[in-house]
Amino acid sequence: MKETKLWINGQWIQTEKSYSLTAPYSGEEIAKVAKASICDVEKAIEGAHQAFQSFKKTTAYERAEILYKVVDIMRGRKDEFARILAMEAGKPISAGLTEIDRTIATYQFSAEAAKQSMGETVPMDAAPGTKDRIGYTKRVPLGVVSAITPFNFPFNLVAHKLGPAIAVGNTIVLKPATQTPLSALVMAEIFKEAGLPDGVLQIVTGSGGELSDTLVTHPFVKKVTFTGSGEVGLKIKGKVGLRKITLELGSNAAVIVEPSTPIKEIISRCVGGAFAFAGQVCISLQRVYVHESIYEEFTNAFVEETKKLKLGDPLDPATDISAMIHPNEVHRLKQWIDEAKQQGATVATGAEFTERTMTPTVMTNVSPDMKVVCQETFAPIVSLVPYQSLDEAISLVNASDLGLNAGIYTNVLTDAMKAAEELEAGAVVVNDIPTFRVDNMPYGGVKSSGYGREGIKYAIDEMTDLKFITIKTVI
């Protein structure tokens, strides 16, 4: 059994306290994880602040080379990292390998972006009385970035914090989810091997409830980037003051299926988007609005495809879906489904539970105010809802206080453009599921789904300040 330490100022630091980490699928203890104190966090932040004084002076070339080396190291250890995901997150090994490939791409995008951070010239003579001046802008690093990450993509979502921050010369204090610290800690080894100077990356593990105040209010912290629940995100936003902040807070992603859609061509994709990693994805397909003329055909096909999925051990290559992250989640979801059934909903398939798992669940006859519809389930539950007109479908999608990604399937260009303009979401995906994401696109939500944008170029904008410089050429 592994015993972990904190990564502070380029050294592994033992703590007095630890907590037990158990595998979501088997329940076996897999590690004793170091539990940081507030003093440990303060030491990490202060070390990152000190490291920033020299790291901000490194060249774009030097920072890019470090990130390229991270890419090379990770390519040689993909199977190992996928096993870590299977053990600590319960992520099926095939999905874990996909996440590692995306993580590698994220660091590669970051390396490339390090060399592309540019400003612009400003025509100073366009204003009266400003002859003999030139002006230009540049992006400059902020300093210490505090990054708090969730359990569901513990390699790739960490990369979306670390990659852009390092690319532009910031330093980082990372607090990974309590359930998935091992994937974060291994990145300390990788960045050390890649040549990252000591102190640029600090990793503290432990309770977010105990450590978050220090992580977001310490005077040396200049930027907070958080991915997690809306409740926690709102608390963080209330504490950061004038610091920059990015919040990605989840959603209940929806797709509209118009009558022109070839059903057989999209069923497998929709089922995959609904149930990958047991639906524990911020943009997991949760609501499907299907035109009434094809609703019965779509529902039958969707249910049959869902029944083909295999639930089992995440280390088994044949497994499609494994455990929920914690037994408490299974208990919550059983209550939500029972409540929906009491209110008239029907379970078309699924809703079978063990202590740690639930089968992929398709619900019909739902209403907009049911928790399984209006809240984020973060689970393998999808609701199928018929509609009569595109205007009605758009209204149903928008009748939520969440808005991360939304999608529409249609072969009618004008309908696609109407949905693109009217759907209230950070991204609208035409002719694909809202679960679609590549790592260089802007990513973030509207309404209660978040604040700010990720995606390497866009994250860099939010992790830098714009500095203006003007020179009077004649004295």
Active site residues: 248, 282
Q: Could you give the 3-state DSSP secondary structure of residue 20?
A: strand
Residue of 345, 333, 336, 354 lying closest to 279 (CA atoms): 333
- Helix, strand, coil shares of the chain, percent, nearest 5, are 40, 25, 35
The β-bridge relationship of strands 287-291 and 381-387 is: parallel
Query: Which residues sit opposite 407 in a β-bridge?
Result: 255, 429
Q: Is 302 exposed, middle or buried (0-12, 13-18, 19+ CB in 10 A)?
A: buried
Cα separations in angstroms, 163 against 79, 110, 281: 21, 5, 21
DSSP state of 125: G
Cα separations in angstroms, 229 against 177, 292, 443: 12, 34, 16
The residues near 23 (Cβ < 8 Å, ≥ 6 apart) are 30, 87, 88, 90
Range list of β-strands (E), 157-282:
171-175, 201-203, 221-227, 244-248, 254-257
Query: Which residues sit opposite 443 in a β-bridge?
Result: 454
- Spatial distance between the Cα atoms of 54 and 5, rounded to a whole number of angstroms: 26
Burial string for 242-257 (b: 16+ CB within 10 Å, else e) reads ebbbbbbbbbbbbbbb
DSSP state of 113: H
**What is the spatial order of strands in the sheet that 133-141 belongs to?**
121-122, 133-141, 464-472
* Cβ pair 113, 190 in contact under 8 A: no
**Structure token digits, residue 245:** 């902040």
Q: Could you give the 3-state DSSP secondary structure of residue 381?
A: strand
Q: In which residue are the tokens 């902040």 written?
A: 245
What's the N-to-C CA distance of the chain in angstroms? 70
Query: Which residues sit opposite 145 in a β-bridge?
Result: 172, 223
Q: Could you give the 3-state DSSP secondary structure of residue 62?
A: helix
Show the 3-state SS of 67-79.
HHHHHHHHHCCHH
Query: Which residues sit opposite 263 in a β-bridge?
Result: none
Query: Which residues sit opposite 140 in a β-bridge?
Result: 465
- Spatial distance between the Cα atoms of 139 and 5, rounded to a whole number of angstroms: 35
